[in-house]
Structure 1
Amino acid sequence: MKNSHQNMNHGHNNGDHQHQNHGHEHDQNKENHSGGHAEHHAHMAKDFLKRFWISIALTVPILILSHMIQELLGLGTALQFTGDTYISFVLSSIVFFYGGWPFLKGLYDELKERQPGMMTLIGVAITAAYAYSTLVVFGVEGQVFFWELATLVDIMLIGHYIEMKSVMSASRALEELAKLMPSEAHVVQEDESTKDVPLEDLQKGYKVLVKPGEKIPADGVVLEGKSSVNESLMTGESKPVSKQKDDEVIGGSINGEGSLTIVVDRTGEDSFLSQVITLVRQAQESKSRTQDLANRAAFWLTIIALGAGALTFFAWTFFTTENFVFALERTVTVMVIACPHALGLAVPLVVAVSTSLAAQNGFLIRNRTAFEEARNLGAIIFDKTGTLTHGEFGVTNVLTFNGFDDKEQLLSLAGSLEQNSEHPIARGIVKATDGLMKVEKFNSITGKGIEGRVDGKQIKVVSPGYLRENNIELPTEQYEQLSGQGKTVVFVIIDDQLQGAIALGDSIREDSREAIQSLHDMGIQCIMLTGDNQQTAAYVANELGLDDFFAEVLPEEKAAKIKEVQQRGLKVAMTGDGVNDAPALAQADVGIAIGAGSDVAVETGDIILTQSNPKDVASLIALAKATYKKMVQNLWWATGYNAFAIPLAAGVLYTYGIILSPALGAVLMSLSTVIVAINARFLKLER
């Protein structure tokens, strides 16, 4: 989910400009998730592109008709004819009013908000160029700036389009959360028949039948039945939870092998899922607004340009013998040159390159501002289940006792017996078994395990409680070691002899170890956040060498844990894959979603790891640092030439016969743009 476009009313801080021309104020970190946002921003991008193509088509004849361009190309007066300046005026007027409208509107909005930025700089430059050139066409002595006006509008339009396509589209996190719920529920009638009713018609006290494999439609309490329920997306608990009479169930979790009849306890806004939705929204809306590099550069450049322009006009008018027309021409030249074309591309080009690089390497940048913030991270908080671990309940250890030493045979015998059971433990063992054999005389030992004949042997797969009840000596040391790691242990009895044990749990990813080491090498603290029990969490934290961990954390507490770490003065990233991680992903300075996880986690994340590889987190931070460095370099290239171009354009060396003409200024601007474009292409991802 926390994403780049917060409101329909946003100052577009997620690129290098403020898109206030469309009257929408932008929060670059989080978003109010409205269904219309994606369409709105798609429309904006389409609008910029349409204006660009129309403007570029009109720019071609404007360039051909420009006397300055003709002179630069050595064409003399060959292409000049009576009325050519009037045609240029008409074409430029269309470019100014149609192509330049977003910037003119942005100029108005920024000045209204008293926050001059890129829009002010562009708006003032094109207005000055157009107004002065129009005066020249209709009789005032001087040079027209129509071609500079047209190319400036073209560059800024395409720069904004590139930027808009590079930043994330509107987040759909809340819609994805809602999709977790089924559309209908099987309500049990008085005659014990069932009737399917829409979810919104459910009320507290209704009895609902949940069939095997179905999603539970509402929070409630089990009245009848027994089953295991997968709550991993909701609570972070890695293994299915057994449910029977009087146990609570959560709407959106998935029922396992048995049927359950529940009585609805909470619906609508009171439900667990709705509370998660509220937490996501609150965390997203509470993010502070910041200005990015290009906006700060544009702000100061606007102040400098306006000040230099006013000073130039004042100085030439009152302290020299030059006429008003000369003073006006110098002023307009300063205003046009002070707005470098390259500034419109300095950040968007780097964004486009870094976004492409990231995608090629398995992660998608959805919120560029948060991505840039990744360079300053002091701590990364990982969800355990599905992020640091595989998130699957499976066999982790096979032990043999009493002279039996064939682990594969032990697993094969147990797996063959378990193929007749739908219990999560059974599914985990069967999945780890190759070559299942036929089972005879299968029988369930109520509450303690199962038994049957496999390959001519009497096999039992039982719980520790069965051993105690039947006075079979429990291998205490091995059992306590495994159970201390949060694993479930079952024992295998072959022909009444205890021959082995099988431990099941959530195994640690090998990639996690390398990721933690890489992050430690970068000086970043690594912390784990999980809903799992203290023993399991401590085991995983110790195995990976984590700096800290939080265990048994409820979903509504996760965002608070992020805040707790942030209060240590650290910039915090959260990496997770479940619904229960959504509020924490939203609260973090940078939310990193594992792509193989739930849709809502992916929609809430600022960056998506499509390959579900924790090592990509370290690569991501390295790319963020490199991207920021390139942005700074480009902004220096884009604005640096103003240090000597503006004074020369203002005429400080006029007495020595040195003055910067608009044509030469245009060449410098073009050179700056080329340098910025080439520099952006040199961005590389160090892995």
Structure 2
Amino acid sequence: MIADYRRRFWVVLVATIPILALAPMIQGWLGLEDALRFPGDRYVLAGLSSLVFFYGGWPFLKGFLREITARDIGMMTLISVAITAAYAYSIGMVAIGSDETFFWELATLIAVMLLGHWIEMKSVLGAGRALEKLASLMPDEAHLVADDGSVTDVPVSTLKGGEHLLIKPGEKVPADGIIVRGESSLNESMLTGESKPIFKTVDTEVIGGSINGEGSLTIRVDKTGDETFLSSVIKLVKEAQASKSKTQDLANTAAKWLTFIALGGGLSTVLFWTLFTDQGFGFAMARAVTVMVIACPHALGLAVPLVVARSTAIAATNGLLIRDRTAFEEARNINAIIFDKTGTLTKGEFGITDTLVFDTTFTESDIVAYAASIEAHSEHPIAQGIVRDAPEAWGVDKFKAIPGKGAEGLVKDRDVKVVS
């Protein structure tokens, strides 16, 4: 869809340039008078404008048919009425040899509307990338444990409830389930926002998409496919993308009333100039088309997609997935925010803030270096934070992980334990 709007916009933009150059009104504004006129120029204008109307205006004409069928008049109807009136009147003027056309107004109107919808599609695509990132949390394959204890790699899509899976250290959990053997710490930050890995043991639930820590686990599959926690999150995001905010509803409501006003204004203009003046029908139609073209919501067509695109981009950049656009707009009235627990607001990056030394024979740098030497052998997020902030690290002998607690080893012939 986004490629279609982009292609139509550039084609219309290229065609609009000569349309503007050949338009008698534009030439008059620039003081060129008849400098760019040539025999048959009005037919060139008609040809280029026909391309703009049928190719560039097709998405709006199709939307008009959809709104009429659904009996839900909106912005597409108003845009279609305006461009159809401008095109039909202008072609009629060319047919009788007149230069009083609306070709340049038609071209610029369609170009602006295509640009607005292209921007809107880009914002939708940006939100789609967030969904792709969520979906990528789930691995493609799982280690299926057979009744005889043998392990086979199978696609995640083939998993069934009740099957046993082996989760190796550092791997992603392929499905929601219950631990039946082993214990380990799991990183669920991408799913729940909890920055600290959670220690889990037998009979504890695990979430598909979370990352296993240092231990090996065997789980019994509980939920797969669309039933998993991750799938429910993705579904919520999709529903949010499909929902419309109050701003969009207001724009559509305004477009609906503007359509009635434009049609009524155009009809009233024709009747007034025909019945109450000495002007001809052509003069009256020119004024009627002017009314309908001016009533078309250029600002609504461009401003609303721009606001949606910009707000969505800023939110996504800051790690915020919008579940409800209406609630997002109402957030401007918030005076206070209450979070459920400590750690909700975090970057997920651990580090050393303070160091307490109880033995004066060691400096703070020594203590951190000893700890970093042990933690350099661990993939735990807290361990990585200690290593990152340490001034140096030394070699370790007899390294041993302490499941659920930490690790230990010999550093410079000293027995060092880093535990929680």
CA distance in 2, matches of 1:286, 1:437: 56
CA distance in 2, matches of 1:76, 1:421: 79
- Verify: 1:46 aligned to 2:7, yes or no: yes
SS at match of 2:272: helix
Residue of structure 2 equivalent to 1:335: 292
For CA contacts below 8 A with separation 6 or more, give which structure has more relative contact order: 1
Structure 1 residues 189 and 46: CA distance shift in structure 2, 3 A: same
CA distance in 1, matches of 2:401, 2:86: 88
SS at match of 1:181: coil
Residue of structure 2 equivalent to 1:314: 271
Select the residue among 160, 171, 196 that pairs with 1:214. Answer: 171
Give the alignment of 1:577-592 within 5 angstroms: none
Give the alignment of 1:237-248 within 5 angstroms: 237-248=194-205
Residue of structure 1 equivalent to 2:366: 409
- Measure how far apart 1:81 and its partner are: 6.0
CA distance in 2, matches of 1:410, 1:431: 14
Structure 1 residues 102 and 448: CA distance shift in structure 2, 3 A: closer
Residue of structure 1 equivalent to 2:56: 99
Structure 1 residues 385 and 45: CA distance shift in structure 2, 3 A: farther
- Measure how far apart 1:185 and its partner are: 2.0
Give the alignment of 1:431-470 within 5 angstroms: 432-437=389-394, 454-455=411-412, 459=415, 461=417
Residue of structure 1 equivalent to 2:76: 119
Structure 1 residues 439 and 163: CA distance shift in structure 2, 3 A: closer
CA distance in 2, matches of 1:234, 1:205: 23
CA distance in 2, matches of 1:195, 1:388: 40
SS at match of 1:222: strand
Is 1:238–1:385's contact at 8 Å kept on the other side of the alignment? no
- Measure how far apart 1:198 and its partner are: 1.9
CA distance in 2, matches of 1:449, 1:356: 41
- Verify: 1:305 aligned to 2:265, yes or no: no
Give the alignment of 1:135-284 within 5 angstroms: 135-139=92-96, 143-165=100-122, 168-169=125-126, 171-281=128-238
Is 1:169–1:366's contact at 8 Å kept on the other side of the alignment? no
- Measure how far apart 1:196 and its partner are: 1.6
Is 1:184–1:217's contact at 8 Å kept on the other side of the alignment? yes
Q: What per-residue deviation string (whole Å, max 9, x for no partner) do you get for residues 353-393 of structure 1?
A: x689969xx76999897776654445556697876334245
Q: What per-residue deviation string (whole Å, max 9, x for no partner) do you get for residues 557-596 of structure 1?
A: xxxxxxxxxxxxxxxxxxxxxxxxxxxxxxxxxxxxxxxx
- TM-score normalised by length of structure 1: 0.49
Is 2:126–2:313's contact at 8 Å kept on the other side of the alignment? no
CA distance in 2, matches of 1:157, 1:271: 39
CA distance in 1, matches of 2:382, 2:100: 84
Structure 1 residues 372 and 329: CA distance shift in structure 2, 3 A: same
- Measure how far apart 1:238 and its partner are: 3.0
CA distance in 2, matches of 1:421, 1:145: 72
Equivalenced residues, count: 417
CA distance in 2, matches of 1:183, 1:349: 37
CA distance in 1, matches of 2:168, 2:89: 76
- Measure how far apart 1:437 and its partner are: 4.2
% of aligned pairs identical?
Answer: 57
CA distance in 1, matches of 2:198, 2:300: 56
Is 1:224–1:261's contact at 8 Å kept on the other side of the alignment? yes
Structure 1 residues 351 and 250: CA distance shift in structure 2, 3 A: closer
- Measure how far apart 1:56 and its partner are: 1.9
Residue of structure 2 equivalent to 1:681: none
Structure 1 residues 260 and 297: CA distance shift in structure 2, 3 A: closer
- Measure how far apart 1:339 and its partner are: 4.3
SS at match of 1:410: helix
Structure 2 unpaired stretches of 5+: none
- Name the amino acid aligned to 2:53: F
- Measure how far apart 1:182 and its partner are: 2.0
Is 2:144–2:165's contact at 8 Å kept on the other side of the alignment? yes
Is 1:118–1:298's contact at 8 Å kept on the other side of the alignment? yes
Is 2:9–2:111's contact at 8 Å kept on the other side of the alignment? no
CA distance in 2, matches of 1:436, 1:196: 38
Is 1:58–1:95's contact at 8 Å kept on the other side of the alignment? no
Residue of structure 1 equivalent to 2:19: 59
- Verify: 1:398 aligned to 2:355, yes or no: yes
CA distance in 1, matches of 2:313, 2:131: 29
CA distance in 2, matches of 1:339, 1:400: 73
- Measure how far apart 1:242 and its partner are: 3.0
Structure 1 residues 429 and 164: CA distance shift in structure 2, 3 A: closer
CA distance in 2, matches of 1:452, 1:128: 83
CA distance in 1, matches of 2:125, 2:71: 27
CA distance in 2, matches of 1:175, 1:144: 48
- Name the amino acid aligned to 2:288: T
SS at match of 1:220: strand
- Name the amino acid aligned to 2:265: A
Give the alignment of 1:540-555 within 5 angstroms: none
- Name the amino acid aligned to 2:145: V
Q: What per-residue deviation string (whole Å, max 9, x for no partner) do you get for residues 272-300 of structure 1?
A: 33344445455666666653665555445
Is 2:144–2:166's contact at 8 Å kept on the other side of the alignment? yes
CA distance in 1, matches of 2:194, 2:94: 75
Structure 1 residues 319 and 172: CA distance shift in structure 2, 3 A: same
SS at match of 2:221: strand
SS at match of 2:144: strand
- Measure how far apart 1:349 and its partner are: 7.1
Q: What per-residue deviation string (whole Å, max 9, x for no partner) do you get for residues 186-236 of structure 1?
A: 223444332222223333343332222112223333343343332333344
Is 1:45–1:164's contact at 8 Å kept on the other side of the alignment? no
- Name the amino acid aligned to 2:91: T
- Measure how far apart 1:255 and its partner are: 1.8
